[in-house]
Structure 1
Amino acid sequence: MKLRRRIKYYLIRLFRLKASPHQVAMGLSIGFIPNWLPTFGLGPMFSIALAKIARVNLISAFIGGVIGAPFWPIFFLLNYRVGGLFINKPLKVNELEDIEYIEVVNDTVGSLQSGSLQFIAGASINIVISSFLIYLLVFLLFNKYRVSILNKLKL
């Protein structure tokens, strides 16, 4: 019950923003970017920093950063899978349990060997695709359905 109420609160807050649909959509899509990278809980702060640099809506960027945080393990696996499609390396990861997080972080930070190049390539591709899709979806929602969605959420 508490989680549902919190989600509703943030959605109402998002749809009440006075910013233009472009500002809100850019904020959400830019705020979602750190979710594809290993930020170790600092994703929402990076989202706000990116939003300040890009001069987009900070609240929507923060919400974008918080939305994807619980899905980090899935995004982690997707980065490897997508990177494996573009880099001709055999995929060593088949399931989430196969991932050694400490080893991957050391490889990613330390060098471009092993699976880190695959991870970075996948993350880059996923960032571009997800940013475009999130922007498009949020922009259309805000442009067309902002008032009706807000009225439904108030009930």
Structure 2
Amino acid sequence: MKLAALKRGLVYQTLRLLRQRQGSHRVALGFALGFLPCWFPTFGADVLLALALLRLCRGNMAAGMFAVLFGTLLWPILFYVNYAVGHAVRRGLRQPADPEVRDILADPAEELRYDETVESLGELGGAGLDFLTGALLNSVLGALLLYLLFRLLWTRCRAPLLRRARAWRARSAGGKRISPSS
């Protein structure tokens, strides 16, 4: 029962979004800015951050809330992508120096060394840096790509989707006029 109500609410909100007369720029901006905070670990504050960004940049609120909904559902994948992209960028920028064999053999071995401990702690810090680098890069590129994609889809697909919704509504009403609230 709850799943049917959720589906009905999602369809209703989608129709509300499609019927808005705002331009494609504001709707696409709303979707891109709504998805932007989802790349970062905001611990539930992504909705508030998205609302603030949408209000500040005058994006469409309904499109932004759809984007936050999808971003919330996709956050495990987004976090993995952040780490993978950040790791690839850091690995690509870092060129390890090749040690000389003479230098390795010339250094006497010490009895007690903490190199492994320091190295493993450095790798943990590197993982955080990988995540942050990936999140920054993904959020900027993702927002730009989502804006362009959603603007293109909005201009091309909005009218056919509205025509299809009107035809479906006329079929389901059986010729009777139904109110928007039902």
TM-score where L is the length of structure 1 = 0.77
Once superposed, what is the RMSD of the aligned Cα atoms? 1.9
Runs of 4+ in 1 over 6 A off after TM superposition: none
1:133 deviates by: 1.9
3-state DSSP class of the match of 2:41? coil
Q: Figure out how many residues of one structure are paired with residues of the other and give that number.
A: 133
Contact kept? 1:32, 1:131, Cα under 8 Å: yes
2:161 pairs with 1:138: no
Greater gyration radius:
2
Cα distance in 1 for residues equivalent to 2:11 and 2:21: 18
- Normalising by structure 2, we get a TM-score of 0.67
Matched residues in 2 for 1:152 and 1:136: separation?
Answer: 24
* CA displacement 1:27-82 (0-9 Å, x = unmatched): 10011001111111221221110111212222222221122101111111110000
Deviation larger for 129-138 or 77-86: 129-138
Matched, 1:13 2:16: yes
Contact persistence 1:33–1:127 (CA under 8 A): yes
Partner residue in 2 for 1:57: 60
CA contact (8 A) 1:83 1:119 kept: yes
Letter of the structure 1 residue corresponding to residue 12 of structure 2: Y
Query: What secondary structure is seen at the aligned counterpart in 2 of 1:56?
Result: coil
| Structure 2 stretches lacking a partner, 5+ long | 93-123, 169-182
**Which of 58, 68, 71 is residue 68 of structure 1 equivalent to?**
71
Q: Which residue of 2 aligns with 1:98?
A: none
**Quick one: distance in 2 between partners of 1:148 and 1:67?**
23
Please say if 1:37 is aligned against 2:40. yes
Stretches of structure 1 that go unaligned for 5 or more consecutive residues are 90-111
Aligned 8 A contact 1:8 1:153 in 2 = no
Deviates more, 1:2-11 or 1:80-89: 2-11
- Give the alignment of 1:86-97 within 5 angstroms: 86-88=89-91
